[in-house]
Amino acid sequence: MRGRWIAAAVLAVLLIATYLLTGLTQIRPGERAVIRRFGRVLPEQPGPGLWFGLPWGMERVDRVAMEKVRRVEVGYDPEEDDTGMLRTGQMLTGDHNLVDLHVVINYTVKEDQLVEFVDMADRADDLVGRAAETALAEWVAGRTVDQVLISAKGELPRWFVPRLQERLDWLNLGVHVQDVTVTYDLPPEQVKDAFDAVTRAQTEILTNVNKAEQERLSDLRAAEVYRDNARRESAAYARKQRLQAREEASAFLARMDQYHQLRIGNPAFLAGIWYEEMGKLYARLKKDGRIDLLDHHLAGDELNITFFPPRPGK
């Protein structure tokens, strides 16, 4: 009988010890814990290490990986069976066209709202997904199909993150949206060929516009070079003409002074100069066809001039 009592006592001690050990919780690196004692949340939120608390039934410990990046996918699923009807994730643009969009949202837990996240942890992904769907539908509805297909991967994430964060803050979910990535952005398969043709045409237009702009800039640079060269040549020619005119004027003044000196000794000197210059003038006139020798118009014993003045260029 005594042995039975000892065995029962040992078993009771073991059971009590095992029950007390349920209050021992290991918190792994990168985790924080929310402690509820008799349903009341304690202010302590212990980090990595061992937590000694009350046994099971009196205390509940919820561990949360703070550094874990959680992933939610929203929108069109390319692997979904094509039934030929409107599929999940297809959205209507502002100009009443359908587009297939698929985005991935990465989020983490806010340290200062750890309790709020634990309260909603089992529904966090679903709530993030629903909020993301409403924000995505809003963005698509405010743009044309061309704007969606062209700018979704670049413009959508910048617009999407603050709008989604605002909705999640209103839900008091305790999450922080890190980034959003557009992984699928195409028109429906039924009209994909038509959209591809439009895209190619738009690309060709942009290529031609860029080519024309490059040609315009090239012509403009060539015109500027020609203008600068013409200005330099004109300035150089003007300087040359000014120097030549000064030299000729100086030579003329020196010669005129010499003529005055020579005229004193020889009064007929100026008459000789006059005949010399007139001879040069007549030679030029003859070369231009404006005068001709009189001997060329003598026929027999009389003068035969059938035209006057002579024809130019003779």
> pLDDT of 204-244, one tens digit each?
898 899 999 999 999 999 999 999 999 999 999 999 999 99
Is the model more confident about 7 or about 190? 7
Q: Hey, what are 153's tokens?
A: 């991967």
pLDDT band at 153 (very low <50, low <70, confident <90, very high): confident
Q: What is the DSSP letter of 80?
A: S
pTM: 0.57
Mean pLDDT within 260-280: 72
- 3-class SS of residue 51: strand
Residue 74's DSSP bridge partners are 103
C-alpha 41/C-alpha 118 separation (Å) is 11
Task: Return phi, psi of residue 281, to 5°.
Answer: -65, -45
Residue 127 has pLDDT above 80, yes or no: yes
pLDDT band at 169 (very low <50, low <70, confident <90, very high): very high
- Amino acid 39: pLDDT: 79
C-alpha 241/C-alpha 236 separation (Å) is 9
Q: What is the DSSP letter of 55?
A: P
C-alpha 235/C-alpha 237 separation (Å) is 5
C-alpha 180/C-alpha 161 separation (Å) is 7
C-alpha 272/C-alpha 251 separation (Å) is 19
Mean pLDDT within 109-129: 90
Angle of CA points 267, 269, 273, to nearest 5°: 145
- Amino acid 170: pLDDT: 93
C-alpha 31/C-alpha 46 separation (Å) is 9
Q: Hey, what are 50's tokens?
A: 């061992």
